[in-house]
Structure 1
Amino acid sequence: MKTRLFILFFVPLVLAAFTVPDNVAKKAHKEMVKFYGTENISKEIISVPKDLNYKTISEFGDENLFKINSGGKLLGYGYIGNAPSKTATFDYLVLFDKNFVITTSKVLFYREEYGGEISSKRWLKQFEGESPTSKELVYNRNIIPISGATISVRSLTSEMNSLLKSIAILQKSNIF
């Protein structure tokens, strides 16, 4: 009986965690079109084997890690993530160049009443230029705090650190 309850309730939650919702994917696509300045963008999903995914801190599931191409040319890479805020979560997009240096990041959907200041371009700009070989990002040292958004700032900083460490693991495993 316990096994059946586990399968009925837990498995669908796990499967749902690996899928990028349509509204998030559409907004991410819009942001990529704006960033690259062309409508002619295609995503090529990068599949990470389960055994390798277990070795990473970030979760790589359906459609959240991809190559970005235009006219048969590689423009860069993208990652769509979801991070906790005080009582909800927020979705974000990170774009990398061909060498996995962060070129831009964007908070796609922020679901809290307070803390939305992490969506500002000015604040997000501090992640640009970071790469898997960069030093760790530290709240209140090289990441500026935002009054009223402490939890979200710490969360996104942690997510960025995890993503960069995870990308380094994938690079060593020749996934790209």
Structure 2
Amino acid sequence: MKTRKVTFLIVFFITSQLFAYQLPKKIFKKVHKELVKTFENTDLQLISVTIPADINTLLGKKIGPSNLFTIVADKTIFGYAYVDKAPSKTDEFDYLILLDKELIVLKTKVLIYREDYGGEIGSSRWLKQFIGKSSKDQLKYKNNIMAISGATISALSMTKAVNRFLSDVGILHKNNIL
């Protein structure tokens, strides 16, 4: 058991050092925690996905190696992680989308919410609506995604962000990047 803890700490330290330049430390810790919880594996690594410029121009939002990652352990792909920001009423919030190998949403998580109101979008009850969605789905706020009273702007923003990302995932898959 002690060996497993030491191995975890070594892998965590090396991984955090390798990717510290891409994700802020506070965000990286939260992402890593969600990876371990979701995939039940402490040996996971994030490998940046680089998207060629010609493909990136096709996307709804430019995606760089600092926010799209392949989740790997022992040369096995577990899935993909996407970290980005979305606008709230007067600021932005950081969020995470985890996909499985088949590019289906496993989890969404609001990592940091910076406003006094609207933080309800971080509830797992609301966020679980996105689980199981893929690039084939079209998400519509107040239609197939529940509205939240008092968090209208943030909830709409999160819905648009997930929808745009899933659309981009379809393009990336079609071009053999994911």
Deviation at 1:74, TM superposition (A): 1.2
Report the secondary structure of 1:82's partner residue.
Answer: strand
The 10-residue stretch of structure 1 (158-167 or 44-53) with the greater mean CA deviation from structure 2: 44-53
Q: 1:42-70, CA deviations, whole angstroms, 9 ceiling, x for partnerless residues?
A: 11111011221121013311321111112
Shift of 1:117: 0.5
Tell me if structure 1 keeps the 8 A contact 2:96–2:111.
yes
Distance in 1, matches of 2:24 and 2:86, equals: 14
Residue of 83, 86, 97 corresponding to 2:100: 97
Please tell me whether the aligned partners of residues 119 and 151 of structure 2 are also in contact (alpha carbons under 8 angstroms): yes
Query: Could you tell me which residue of structure 1 aligns to residue 67 of structure 2?
Result: 64
1:79-98 equivalences under 5 Å are 79-98=82-101
Q: Is the 8 A contact 2:49 2:64 kept in 1?
A: no
Within-5 A mapping of 1:153-168: 153-168=155-170
Runs of 4 or more above 4 Å deviation: none
Deviation at 1:72, TM superposition (A): 2.1
The amino acid that maps onto 2:49 is I
Offset at residue 29 of structure 1 (A):
1.3
Report if aligned partners of 1:92, 1:106 keep a CA contact under 8 Å in 2: yes
Structure 1 position 29 matched with structure 2 position 32: yes
Deviates more, 1:100-109 or 1:26-35: 26-35
Which shifted more, 55-64 or 122-131? 55-64
Q: List gaps (5 residues or longer) in structure 2.
A: 1-21
CA distance in 2, matches of 1:31, 1:64: 15
Number of paired residues? Answer: 157
Distance in 2 separating the partners of 1:175 and 1:30: 26
Identical aligned residues as a percent: 45
Task: Summarize deviations over 1:111-152 as a string: whole Å, max 9, x none.
Answer: 010000000111000000100112x11111111011100000
Structure 1 residues 61-105: Cα deviation after superposition (integer angstroms, max 9, x where no partner)? 132111111222111111111100000000001011111000111
Which residue matches 1:4?
A: none
Q: Work out the CA distance in 2 between the residues paired with 1:161 and 1:70.
A: 28
Q: Give me the whole-angstrom Cα distance separating, in 1, the residues matched to 2:173 and 2:74.
A: 25
Q: Which residue identity is paired with 2:177?
A: I
- 8 Å Cα contact 1:58-1:159 kept in structure 2: no
Check conservation: 2:51, 2:65, Cα contact below 8 A: no
TM-score (norm 1): 0.85
CA contact 1:43–1:66 (8 Å) conserved in 2: yes
One of 132, 137, 140 as aligned partner of 2:139? 137
The residue number in structure 1 matching 2:77 is 74
Q: TM-score, normalised by structure 2?
A: 0.84
> What RMSD over aligned residues (CA atoms) do the two structures have, in Å?
1.1
